[in-house]
Amino acid sequence: MGRETISEIEYFARALKAPRIRDAAARLAEQAREAGWTHEEYLAAVLSREVSARESSGAELRIRAAGFPGRKSLEEFNFDHQPSLKRDTIAHLGTGSFLTEAKNVVLLGPPGTGKTHLAIGLGIKAAHAGHRVLFATATDWVTRLQSAHQLGRLPQELVKLRRYGLIIVDEVGYIPFEQDAANLFFQLVSSRYEHASLILTSNLPFSRWGDVFGDHVVAAAMIDRIVHHADVITLKGSSYRLKNSGIDTLPSARPENTAE
């Protein structure tokens, strides 16, 4: 490429705030000449470098903003440990179509069966697909809603949260809520109903959520909205954490206590 053209490209790339165009233009020009690309093919290759770099840095920002407790991917999930769970089910959820349809995912099962792992893995996929994601435990969500409520800003908070395509509520059921918490939680679920997705995880079957929320009527109304458009996935078996420890089951994993 001529010197003048190169400096023109540098100028345009700077004006567009697209630094990879400058780098890719020179690098790919040689490749294009050798391989005999058309002008259109060359232009597409250069632009694609900028676009994919932008997309992945956007996804990375969304992943960091989501507040995941760690990074877990669907690819790392060992389906041999969950024989009743179909790979296809998770792969389909991984495409993110549930998000565009504002559907929910509920992951039920005893401790250590991979509920949080799958929730994070789906959250990371969602971030890559361009959705904003927020992850917190049920207890943290209630604290957040309570403080908004005390400031008289609950409606604004719920509107703000609706801009997130995915909200993950981890560990429903580990700690019982007070009654006002049940109402706040119900409002979160209602405000997202048919607008934006939720992923919830719980070690308890729905039949025991009434005890957790301290209000069977509110819990039933909430479950009704959650499951109306939802994939409910029940994980089974012993804890993956105890896989090689020689311990078979935790006391809380006895069938009468869990979502199994």
**Interface with ligand ADP (CB under 6 A), residue from 20, 22, 62, 115:** 115
Residues of span 116-145 touching ligand ADP by CB under 6 A: 116-117
Q: Is 112 in the site for ligand ADP (CB under 6 A)?
A: yes
Distance of closest approach, residue 253 Cβ to ligand ADP, in angstroms: 10
Of the two residues 29 and 90, which places its CB atom closer to Mg ion in the complex? 90
Instruction: Calculate the CA 33 to chain-centre distance.
Output: 43
- Distance spanning both ends of the chain, measured CA to CA: 66
The closest of 92, 91, 90 to 107, measured between CA atoms, is 90
Q: Which residues contact 89 (CB under 8 A, 6 or more apart)?
A: 231, 233
Of the two residues 116 and 197, which places its CB atom closer to Mg ion in the complex? 116
Distance of closest approach, residue 112 Cβ to ligand ADP, in angstroms: 5
Region from 31-39, 96-104, 108-116, 210-218 binding ligand ADP, contact rule CB under 6 A: 108-116
Hey, what are 175's tokens?
A: 């700690």
Long-range contacts of 19-23 (CB under 8 A, 24+ apart): 20/49, 20/50, 20/53, 21/46, 21/47, 21/49, 21/50, 23/49
Distance of closest approach, residue 69 Cβ to Mg ion, in angstroms: 9
Q: What is the DSSP letter of 220?
A: H
How, if at all, do strands 166-172 and 230-234 pair?
A: unpaired
Distance of closest approach, residue 138 Cβ to ligand ADP, in angstroms: 12
Region from 113-121, 129-137, 146-154, 183-191 binding ligand ADP, contact rule CB under 6 A: 113-121
Of the two residues 104 and 116, which places its CB atom closer to Mg ion in the complex? 116
**Interface with ligand ADP (CB under 6 A), residue from 6, 49, 53, 81:** 81
Distance of closest approach, residue 79 Cβ to Mg ion, in angstroms: 18
Residues of span 227-256 touching ligand ADP by CB under 6 A: 240-241
The closest of 125, 1, 119, 104 to 70, measured between CA atoms, is 119
Of the two residues 104 and 116, which places its CB atom closer to ligand ADP in the complex? 116
How, if at all, do strands 133-137 and 230-234 pair?
A: unpaired
The closest of 212, 244, 231, 4 to 118, measured between CA atoms, is 231
Distance of closest approach, residue 140 Cβ to Mg ion, in angstroms: 13
User: Binding marks (x or -) toward ligand ADP, 38..77, rule CB under 6 A?
Assistant: ----------------------------------x---xx
Hey, what are 145's tokens?
A: 């809603």
- Cα dihedral sign, 252-254-258-260: positive
**Interface with ligand ADP (CB under 6 A), residue from 96, 114, 173, 237:** 114
Chain positions contacting ligand ADP, by CB under 6 A:
72, 76-78, 81-82, 109, 111-117, 240-241
